[in-house]
Amino acid sequence: MFWIIKPKLAWKVSRPQWQQTNHGQRVSAVIGGHLIWFESSDIALTPAPEAFAQVMLIPALHQRRRLKIDSPLDAAWLANVEKVTKVFSSWWDYPASIPIDGASANNVARPHLPKRPEGCIAQMGPDPIVGRNAALCFSGGIDSFFSLLRGSAQFDNLIFVHGFDIRLDDATRMQAMASTLCQVASATGKRLIIVRTNLREHPLFRSTPWERTHGAALAAIGHLLAPEIRQLEIAASWPYPERYRWGSHWEIDPLWSASRTCIVGEITSDTRWDKLAALGGHPLVQQHLHVCWKNQTPTGNCSRCEKCVRTMVMLDATGHLNGSRVFAPAEPLADLLDALRTAPPHTTAQWLRVAGRVHSADVKHAIERLVYRSHAAISRKAI
Give per-residue pLDDT as tens, 43-95: 999 999 999 999 999 999 999 999 999 999 999 999 999 999 999 999 999 99
- DSSP structural state of residue 169: T
CA pair distance 200, 63, nearest whole angstrom: 17
Predicted local distance difference test score (pLDDT) of residue 373: 96
In our burial notation (b when 16+ CB lie closer than 10 A, e otherwise), range 63-97 reads bebbbbbebbbbbbbbbbbeebbebbbebeebbee
Predicted local distance difference test score (pLDDT) of residue 126: 38
Q: Does position 119 have pLDDT exceeding 80, yes or no? A: no
Cα–Cα distances (Å) from 320 to 17, 278, 329, in that order, read 48, 10, 14
Predicted local distance difference test score (pLDDT) of residue 150: 93
CA pair distance 145, 75, nearest whole angstrom: 34
Predicted local distance difference test score (pLDDT) of residue 293: 82
3-state SS assignment for residue 12: strand
Predicted local distance difference test score (pLDDT) of residue 294: 77
Q: What percentage of the chain carries pLDDT values higher than 70? A: 90
Q: Does position 105 have pLDDT exceeding 80, yes or no? A: no
Q: Does position 113 have pLDDT exceeding 60, yes or no? A: no
Average pLDDT over residues 106-131: 44
Which of 157-171, 229-243, 272-286, 320-334 bottoms out in mean pLDDT, i.e. has the lowest?
A: 229-243
Average pLDDT over residues 172-201: 97
Of residues 153 and 316, which shows the higher confidence score? 316
Q: What percentage of the chain carries pLDDT values higher than 90? A: 80
Residue of 169, 171, 258 lying closest to 221 (CA atoms): 258
Q: Does position 115 have pLDDT exceeding 50, yes or no? A: no
Is residue 383 very low, low, confident or very high in pLDDT (cuts 50, 70, 90)?
low
Q: Does position 109 have pLDDT exceeding 50, yes or no? A: no
Of residues 43 and 243, which shows the higher confidence score? 43
Which residues is 197 bridged to in the sheet? Answer: 38
> Of 23-27, 152-156, 374-378, which one has max mean pLDDT?
23-27
Runs of H (alpha helix) within the chain: 49-62, 75-92, 142-150, 171-188, 210-225, 272-279, 283-288, 306-317, 333-339, 348-355, 361-382
Average pLDDT over residues 290-298: 84
> pLDDT averaged over the chain?
90
Average pLDDT over residues 115-127: 39
Decide: 57 and 207 in contact? Cβ < 8 Å: no
User: In angstroms, how far is CA 143 from the centroid of its own chain?
Assistant: 10
Predicted local distance difference test score (pLDDT) of residue 375: 93
Read off the pTM.
Answer: 0.90
CA pair distance 347, 70, nearest whole angstrom: 41
Predicted local distance difference test score (pLDDT) of residue 8: 55
